[in-house]
Amino acid sequence: MSLDTLERYIQNYIASQDTEVVEFAWHGGEPTLAGLDFFKQAVAFQRQYAGDKIIKNTLQTNGSKLDKDWCQFFRENNFLVGLSIDGPEWLQAKYRTKQGKSVFAENLQALKLLQKMQVEHNVLACVTQEYCRHAKSIYEFFRKHKVKHIQFSPLVESAPTAEEQSRGQHFSGNLIYSTAGVEEQSPTAWSVDGKAYGQFLFDIFQLWVKHDVGKVFISNFEQALTQYIGNPSPNCIHAPECGSSYAVESNGDVYFCDHVAYPESKLGNINSDSLKAVSQRAQQFEFNKSSRLSTRCKQCRYLKMCNGGCPKHRYLTLSGEYENRLCEGYSYFFRNIEKYLHAMTQLLANGYPASHIMQALDGPLILTSSNKR
């Protein structure tokens, strides 16, 4: 991104926000390839246009470029850094490679450096079909390396149609634009299966709830608890509607979402359009979550916690409706953790830490002032 476009983006984005806190999320590709000077300039522009607003930054990286200078910059400017690392080397080496060689050593070195330099960070762990069989190994790996904040992200993609391939897409847009048949829309072999993903999440949850409540924070579980007690979803995947997370490309083009950054979802360009105008266009966008819910979704008792998941993960079924690839997994996961969520809710409502959850489930928990927060 040129510095002129960067400046316009930052000025435009801050001006479009009506909130006291404005958060910038830097993703790629690999955003650190833009160089440290690029981000120093970005921070300078943020200060120039912030006014009375508080600016926050998050950055997602594979860690390959991180060194002490990067980490010092992150710490001094209060960046939250998301590190992409999926688990032990024997598992992730198949997928995370550079010139055919594993990049695990780079990933792990970056994690240790972030910890040593006291940079606020979390881990984004991708989940493929193969990973679902190794929940315990993955969780024990993160415990061993003292990871405190984790998000598990399921991978669901399809091969592009001939038309999509001709314009350079590596994956299909799925239900949104494709008119292909069911067979052509089938997910790739490495895409996670719904039931397996639900079991994976519950396997992780069982390990976490016994040992690490209040010590390790897993966004998938926090989201479930948040919505169980009636609050809005903290992420777009399980929000009632889409349209809260636009993607801005290096030339300033704005897309509806980074899951669907295809020509049909282009909403404008920050060099010529205000983001408020872009937002108005997005409201007419066809990528509507609630209007395309299947009959199964509408009748599901966990609809308020799931809201149909991400539409990018929906596929046309023989019934003529679009079903989320992960539906069975979400249902399985929510059903199996419901008693835990209920216990947590009761503990928190009475001023006791959620770490008491196993005592509450195993038998009567004697609540005294000594074990209150």
Catalytic residue, candidates 253, 258, 273, 362: 258
Report d(CA 79, CA 59) in Å as an integer. 7
For 2, left (φ over 0), alpha (ψ -120 to 50), or beta? beta
pLDDT at 59: 98
State the Rg of the chain over Cα.
22
Q: Is the pTM of this model over 0.85?
A: yes
What residue ranges of the chain have pLDDT lower than 70?
174-185, 286-288, 358-373
Nearest to 30 by CA among 1, 61, 58: 61
- 258 in catalytic set: yes
* Element housing 99 (H / E): none
pLDDT at 53: 97
pLDDT at 286: 64
Beta bridge pairs of residue 125: 152
pLDDT at 232: 87
pLDDT at 287: 64
Range list of β-strands (E), 203-362: 217-218, 247-248, 253-255, 266-269, 314-316, 322-324
> Quick one: how far is CA 227 from the chain centroid?
16
